[in-house]
Amino acid sequence: MAADESLAATGSIPLKSEEDIVASRQKVRVLCQHLKFSLVDQTKMITAASELSRNTLIHGLGGAMRWELLDDGLRRGLRLHFEDEGPGIPDLKLALTDGWTSKSGMGLGLPGSKRLVHEFDLHSTPGAGTRVSITRWK
Query: Could you read off the pLDDT of 103-135 as tens digits, one per residue?
Result: 655 557 899 999 999 999 999 999 999 999 999
* Selection from 27, 16, 20 nearest residue 60 by Cα: 16
Domain count of the fold of the chain: 1
Tell me the torsion sign for CA atoms 87, 54, 99, 104: positive
Widest pairwise Cα distance in the chain: 46
**Which residues form the domain of 62?**
13-137
Determine, yes or no, domain membership for 33. Answer: yes
Kindly give, in sequence order, each residue whose CB lies less than 8 Å from that of residue 111, ignoring residues fewer than 6 positions away.
Answer: 96, 97, 98
Q: Is 53 left (phi over 0), alpha (psi -120 to 50) or beta?
A: alpha
Determine, yes or no, domain membership for 90. Answer: yes
**Is pLDDT at 2 greater than 50 in this prediction?**
no
Determine, yes or no, domain membership for 76. Answer: yes
Determine, yes or no, domain membership for 32. Answer: yes
CATH number of the domain at 83, please. Answer: 3.30.565.10
Determine, yes or no, domain membership for 99. Answer: yes
Determine, yes or no, domain membership for 2. Answer: no
Mind listing the pLDDT tens digit for each residue in 72-95?
999 999 999 999 999 999 888 888
What is the pTM assigned to this prediction?
0.90
Determine, yes or no, domain membership for 3. Answer: no
Determine, yes or no, domain membership for 1. Answer: no
pLDDT computed for residue 94 by the predictor: 84
